[in-house]
Amino acid sequence: MRAGATTVRPSEEIDPLVQRMDRAKVAHVVVTRADGTLVGLFGLGDTRPPENDSDQG
């Protein structure tokens, strides 16, 4: 059985969030307000440079 989606609030600090995501092996989280309204998605790739330069022009 899979766990539900991981959600965070928009006020979440980036560095601790990235550390938690790394420990939990979670690549993406759903960003919601306290009332459950969707704000967006956040992925580890949003904070890290590409692993290779093959797609860099």
Divide the 57 residues of the chain into consecutive groups of 10 and give the mean pLDDT of each group: 80 94 92 95 82 59
pLDDT of 15: 93
- What span, in angstroms and rounded, lies between the C-alpha atoms of 43 and 37? 18
Look up the domain containing 32 and give its range: 7-46
Range 12-19, long-range pairs (CB < 8 A, 24+ positions): 14/47, 17/42, 18/44, 18/47
Give the CATH number, domain containing residue 39: 3.90.1280.20
pLDDT of 56: 55
pLDDT of 46: 83
- Residue 55 within any structural domain of the chain: no
Residues in the chain: 57
- Residue 30 within any structural domain of the chain: yes
- What span, in angstroms and rounded, lies between the C-alpha atoms of 33 and 22? 23
- Residue 13 within any structural domain of the chain: yes
pLDDT of 20: 93
What is the number of structural domains in the chain? 1
pLDDT of 18: 93
- Residue 57 within any structural domain of the chain: no
- Residue 23 within any structural domain of the chain: yes
pLDDT of 23: 93
- Residue 56 within any structural domain of the chain: no
- Residue 38 within any structural domain of the chain: yes
